[in-house]
Chains A and B, each alone.
Chain A
Amino acid sequence: MANNIKELILIATLIFLLAPLFIILYVVIYNRRKMRHIEEKEQMKHAFDAEIIKTQLEVQEQTMQNIGADLHDNIGQLLSLSSLTLNSIQLEDLEKARQKIDAAIDLTGRSIKEMRLLGKLLQGDQLLGVGLSEAICHEINWVEKSGKFQVNYVNEGDLPANNNLDKDLIIFRILQEVINNIIKHSMATQINIKLAYADGNMQLNVEDNGVGFNLDNLQTARPEGGGMGLLNMQKRAKIVGGDVFIKTQQGEGTSTTVIIPYP
């Protein structure tokens, strides 16, 4: 009996002596996990920053494309017409010359107006600094100028005073891509855009009355022309904790909704 107690005491002593070893092992393992967690967080931050920079570049690229198209289609045409009008002036017929000069002045005035709009478009990505809604308005102005679409824009709910530039950029880039898709593929005549803020979420909804498409076929396809694609839009939204939902059927238009926790 006494021997058994002695053995028990020896075992208990041994356990006591070894216990610190297990405690320290636990601390070391936990600390390693902490390091891995910190590294993962760092990697995620790098990936996020890279995605934001990519988005910024895409917004700039899109803006430059819009400007290029505008220069070619509008201002270029107006200035060519002004040049033709001025070239056709015959000073012998003063009355006709006056009419042509007036027409050239009008064309030049319109060119200046277009140039001013272009200037604002050029600041498109910088407009996000002023506010997402403002930037959307400028994008809509550009779309409406083509005369092919009637665009309705509604801003519902008070946007938070503290805006989040990264999230604004992502929402704006998704909007640009959705509008691009509408212009290129939808054959729509009406676009309804709604920006709403409720319950800590920013919600952007874009609807068109176009031909729609088969969502299953496009779910994994890469778009032609290097656009974002559906998966990419979702990936972008997910890096800020949001999501993109698309409802469409052939012949029944498309509705795209982006929901992002905000700010």
Chain B
Amino acid sequence: MPATIYIEAACFIVAVICLIRDANWVWRSMALFLLITCLTEITGKLLRSGHHSNQWLYNVYLLFEAGFTSLMFNKVLSKYINSKILIIGGAGVFLASYVYDLIGHGFLVFNDITATVMSVVFVIYSFLYFYLLIRDDQYVDLIKSPAFWWVTGALFFYFGSTAVNLFFAFLRDVQVAGHNITYFIFSALSAILYACWSYSFICRRWQTTSKN
């Protein structure tokens, strides 16, 4: 099993421990999303080891990823602005590119354009969050801010993913220690993402328990 599956599983466990009793259903839904992520990764790995294509599986997973991540962005941005229109707009762009991909190459080939579009949309959301955060008069203790760490993880992952997706044609030829360099980059990005999210869930737990 690749290391990323263990990292995802660890993040899922942290999410279950920290968020299962969270008062907010959006935060609670992160545990479900991470469960879906782990199951997708394991199933994908099993399909691949059985020499079956797993690209259709990741096409399905894209829908969950876009849905749950958009929900969370809506949650963190709504503190500063009425973000519903923005998130619905982003979802519209995502669906349009998803349909475009499906029409272009069918369901059995991975929707790479959709993945790139989704990454760009999430990077824009992350930038917007940081802009609103620094513009806000209120001081936020970033070390203990669950929203900040969640967005930080997302920004690292989706910004890096965008870069790799853009340069993929060149990067796929670069081999390091018997693996494609993108394998190491995605492993590092996943580690950063799930480390930030795990810490974000812990902060969320501290925040909610200290309020009670």
Contacts and interface: CB of A to CB of B under 8 A. Distances in A.
Interface in A26-47: 27-28, 30-31, 34-35, 38
B134 A13 contact: no
Interface in B142-168: 142, 152, 155-156, 159-160, 162-164, 167
A170 to B, nearest CB: 28
Main secondary structure of the interface of A (DSSP, over half): helix
A17 B185 CA distance: 9
B156 A20 contact: yes
Contact of B185 (A6, A13, A20, A27): A13
Interface residues of A, number: 20
Contacts of B156: 20-21
A34 B90 CA distance: 31
A12 to B, nearest CB: 7
A140 to B, nearest CB: 45
A20 B155 contact: yes
Interface string B164-198: 10010011011000000100010011000000000
A24 B170 contact: no
Given A6-B173, A13-B185, A16-B163, A34 B155 contact: no
A94 B160 CA distance: 114
B63 interface: no
A215 B163 CA distance: 70
A28 B141 CA distance: 10
B196 to A, nearest CB: 10
B151 to A, nearest CB: 9
A20 B160 contact: yes
Contacts of A16: 159-160, 162-163
A10 B134 contact: no
B162 A31 contact: no
A9 interface: yes
B25 interface: no
A91 interface: no
A34 B170 CA distance: 43
Contacts of A34: 134, 139
Interface string B93-133: 00000000000000000000000000000000001001001
A221 interface: no
Contacts of B167: 9, 12-13
A19 interface: yes
A34 B162 CA distance: 31
Contact of B155 (A9, A24, A35): A24
B140 interface: yes
A161 interface: no
B139 A17 contact: no
B175 to A, nearest CB: 12
A130 interface: no
A31 B159 contact: no
Nearest to A39: B139
B163 A6 contact: no
Nearest to A10: B174
A6 B170 contact: yes
Given A6-B173, A24-B152, A24-B155, A12 B134 contact: no
B183 to A, nearest CB: 14
A70 B190 CA distance: 83
A38 B188 CA distance: 37
B139 A35 contact: yes
A34 B138 CA distance: 8
A27 B130 contact: yes
**Which 6 A-B pairs have CB atoms at the shortest separation, nearest pair first?**
A16-B163, A9-B170, A30-B134, A20-B155, A20-B156, A35-B139
23 contacts: A6-B170, A9-B167, A9-B171, A10-B171, A12-B163, A12-B167, A13-B163, A13-B164, A13-B185, A16-B159, A17-B163, A19-B159, A20-B152, A20-B156, A20-B160, A21-B156, A23-B127, A23-B130, A27-B130, A27-B134, A30-B134, A31-B133, A31-B139
Interface of A: 5-6, 9-10, 12-13, 16-17, 19-21, 23-24, 27-28, 30-31, 34-35, 38
Interface of B: 127, 130, 133-134, 139-140, 142, 152, 155-156, 159-160, 162-164, 167, 170-171, 173-174, 181, 185, 188-189
